[in-house]
Chains A and B, each alone.
Chain A
Amino acid sequence: MTEFDIPRRAALALVLAGISAPHLAEAQQASIDPLLYGPTDPNAKRGGKLTIGSLVEPPALDPFRQAADARVRVSVLMYQGLFYEDPTGVARPLLAEGATPGADGKSWTFRLRRGVKFHTGAAMTSADVKYSYDFMRNAANGSPGAGDLSSVASIEAPDDHTVVFHLVRPNAALPMTLTNKYGAVVPKGFLDDAQSGPRMNEISVGTGPFKLRQFRPNSTLVLERFADYWQPGLPYLDEVTFVTMPNSAAMVVGLQSRRVDLAMFSRPQDTQALANAPGVEVHRWPSLGQKSLDLDCKFGPLTDVRVRQAIALAIDKKVVMDAAVVGYGTVIGTMVAGMQQGWGVPLDQLANQKPDLDRARALLRAAGHANGVDIELTTIIGYDWMEPAALTIAEQLKRVDIRVTIRKLELGVWIRNFRAKEMGFTFNDWGTTPDPGLLYYRHFRAAPEGADFRNWNNARASALLDRGQETADPAQRRESYAAFQQLLAEEVPTIMLFSADLLTANRTRLKNYVQHGTGWYFGLAKAWVEG
């Protein structure tokens, strides 16, 4: 098996274009990558059923129009994009077999994998790929992923096994954009029906290792093995049932009584009861998520950058993390823990990371707040970690005369405020696909290209984000994103607090389950059960 399949002429063109070999390796892998969906276990056996307890249920299964993380978690098992977002930050070819960027960086040619079938039984061709991504990038179709494809001008399908994406501007992160969070490749014409979204709650039409058997509201989601799946031998499991559990206590009880084989926990405290439970093992996994404080730069005292800096300087992130998740995580600066090694600037090289109360008071005085500041901090109901974190932060800010009132918001109200750019001073909890462009661009790029939810409207930050997206050279990309992170730390439109570890507990009969840093269930494609 060849690990890399790079036509010599294309390689030469890319070298001439200044694209380095490591970057090529990311996008050019051909054949079937053994690391797709995690490591392969040579002892794996086929068969068996698995029950997974989950605190959240997908509101719907439509990958084109439903942004909820609970949807992405499970739909990645049924639907696939052209690439797989390896948690290390590599875009591994999935439905694509390889990719070649154009010499000017304004096009990408993708060779498609042969022998891929949809759950409908039809073979996948380039027409399906073009159709699916054209649908997704058309904002009029209501896809939350449309913004990620704003650099795409057109998609061409010159033959059955090739698609060419023509871009309005270079986009080095395109392979990572064509992964599995939003959209997927589905049969051409399927989405023409206005009821296609709801239909995806009854049937699956993707190419993934599992297909939908039953989705019962407020109860269960049952997936079954897709016999015609293109990765030989996969998946090992015959059936996976996701059971919506009422609370963590029920998940603990379910694991102990063998009703549940695998569960993901949001609070470390909840797994303590399982530490010595026979037949159960608890795992900690690095996360691509972040717990943060967002600061609306047009909200009251936060309009003054000195107040935002004072807040950052009054907060001790480690203490907040200990209170919120009893230390099960990693304090971060401006990058999620899972990507820190590849893309993050070390914390000691970033401004406003260490508590400095004297400087915080001086900044407040300089901003005209000698008597302190009153501010409201919002938390989201149902996010357990926010309560202790809010109380801790209120205590910490009190030391510099920032008096905090805590207000709890229902999630729907919070989302409304966030999208309307009226978030004020609030906690946030969000994850990312492992690429800095996908992490930052939409959140911090000024409008209209980005959403700029925090009203930062910073021209230099926008220019750095543009450069990071358009530059193909990894070293230049790193440089742009490093400069952006310095600016982010200096201007404080957000305070990234920590990445909480992902916590899973499973019965020991479950083997080779590796939890992806996004929290999505990719690992089930290669997991198996004993006995």
Chain B
Amino acid sequence: MRAVPGDIVGQMLGQTGSDRSAEAALRGFFGLDRPLWRQFLDWLWATLHGDLGRSWYRGSAVAGMVWDAFLVTAELALATLLLATLIGVPLGVLAGIVRGSRLDAAIQGVNLVGLSAPVFWLGLMLLVGASQLLDWSPPFAWSGPTEDFGENLANLVLPVVSLAMLQAAAYSQFVRGLMVEQLGRDYIRAARAKGMPPFDIYFRHALANVMIPLVTFMGLILVQILGGVVVIESLFSLPGLGRLILTGIQGRDYPVVQGALFFVVVIATTVNLGVDLLYGLLDPRLKP
């Protein structure tokens, strides 16, 4: 980002400031007059001591800003994951069970649409559709769940649906593939030969064996949602991590961008670690 021309001083002074001393004063205030390596080392040292610094525009602690934004993004991501799972997994299981049927083709067709529709387009269509058909729109002014739960839900419903459509389609396709694979295995044939009821075959045996790759996939999806919410957050004015980073980059607010990206890396690592630990719970053979 430092390689991109322009900095916060230029943005603050805009098309004004013929006096170069104003520029120099601001550059000194933000520490931009120091060598780049020195700025980085200072930031690293402070970060290692738990201090992510302060936003150059807002003056607020970056840690607090990142945490507030993360809560918004986390709520969005978890609600999306939940909705996508509730839609995608049953559809995938069903498609796997009825493989080759018209229902399977229909589900795959819907999945194709879900995977092909760009999130920003879907979001915009839902926004305009809700306005035209229901005379309703989200409030746009953000309220946290503890401030006003109704407004919070109203703000989240369209972005969650927009994101979940894509993820549910991905889930459905993935689970279908896993189910088809499991249902072709010898142990399933043996269970059928024994006269085991279909419900037990599908849900006690096949689905249980689908769980490990599914959890891995969920972890990947969660990280993907966290990394990709910038579009949907911008589209629906949600003050989450994606928008925080985006506006930080646009305004050249380096402490905010560095702090937020650092946090995202920590979260992505934590989610992956969590997924690894879940393996042990789901399959005791993987316990160390």
Contacts and interface: CB of A to CB of B under 8 A. Distances in A.
A68 B14 contact: yes
A272 B135 CA distance: 18
Given A68-B14, A201-B59, A442-B16, A246 B22 contact: no
Contact of B137 (A244, A256, A415): A256
B214 to A, nearest CB: 33
Interface stretch (B93-101, B139-147, B181-189): B139-147
A259 B139 contact: yes
Interface in B18-54: 18-19, 21-23, 25-26, 29, 54
B57 A59 contact: yes
Nearest to B138: A259
Given A144-B22, A199-B59, A449-B18, A216 B128 contact: no
**Interface range on chain B (Cβ under 8 Å from partner):** 35 or more
B6 A220 contact: no
A401 to B, nearest CB: 31
Interface stretch (A74-82, A135-143, A166-174): A135-143
A142 B12 contact: yes
Interface in A423-455: 428, 430, 442-443, 447-453
Contacts of B141: 51, 219-220, 241, 243
B270 interface: no
A65 B65 CA distance: 22
A67 B239 contact: no
Interface in B226-262: 234-237, 239, 243-244, 247, 250-252
Contacts of A143: 22
A423 to B, nearest CB: 10
B127 interface: yes
Contacts of A368: none
Contact of B11 (A59, A217, A218, A247): A59
Contacts of A69: 14
Contact of A257 (B54, B135, B234): B135
**Interface range on chain A (Cβ under 8 Å from partner):** 35 or more
B10 A415 contact: yes
Contacts of B59: 60, 195, 197-199, 201
B13 interface: yes
A259 B93 CA distance: 41
Contacts of A447: 18
Interface stretch (A225-233, A390-398, A406-414, A495-503): A406-414
Given A142-B12, A217-B65, A416 B7 contact: yes
Contacts of B140: 53, 243-246, 250, 254, 259-260
Contacts of B25: 139-142
B254 to A, nearest CB: 12
Contacts of A413: 4-6
Nearest to B14: A67
Nearest to A251: B140
A412 B250 contact: yes
A140 B5 contact: no
Given A415-B6, A415-B10, A218 B243 contact: yes
Contact of B124 (A195, A197, A249, A442): A249
Given A66-B12, A416-B7, A246 B237 contact: yes
B18 A451 contact: yes
A418 B12 contact: no
B12 A144 contact: yes
A250 B26 contact: no
B60 interface: yes
Contact of B244 (A201, A218, A418): A218
Q: Which of A57, A69, A140 counts the most B-chain CB atoms under 10 A from its CB?
A: A140
Nearest to B58: A201
A448 B137 contact: no
A310 B15 CA distance: 27
A143 to B, nearest CB: 6
A415 B131 contact: no
A410 B4 contact: yes
Given A253-B127, A257-B136, A412 B17 contact: no
Contact of B60 (A201, A418, A443): A201
Contact of A67 (B7, B13, B127, B131): B13
Given A219-B237, A417-B5, A411 B137 contact: no
Contact of A256 (B131, B142, B239): B131
B248 to A, nearest CB: 10
A377 interface: no
A442 B138 CA distance: 44
Q: Which of A218, A241, A411, A447 counts the most B-chain CB atoms under 10 A from its CB?
A: A218
A51 B131 CA distance: 18
Contacts of B60: 198, 201, 217
A338 interface: no
Given A66-B12, A216-B142, A415-B11, A147 B18 contact: yes
Given A66-B12, A142-B13, A142-B23, 4 more contacts: A150-B19, A412-B7, A412-B11, A415-B6
3 closest Cβ pairs, A-B complex? A198-B59, A416-B6, A412-B6
25 contacts: A57-B247, A59-B11, A59-B251, A67-B16, A68-B14, A139-B19, A139-B22, A141-B25, A142-B25, A142-B29, A144-B13, A146-B19, A147-B17, A182-B16, A198-B55, A217-B247, A219-B141, A250-B127, A252-B131, A257-B131, A414-B6, A416-B6, A419-B10, A419-B15, A450-B18
Interface of A: 51, 53, 57, 59-60, 65-69, 139-147, 150, 182, 194-195, 197-199, 201, 216-220, 241, 243-247, 249-250, 252-254, 256-257, 259-260, 410-419, 428, 430, 442-443, 447-453
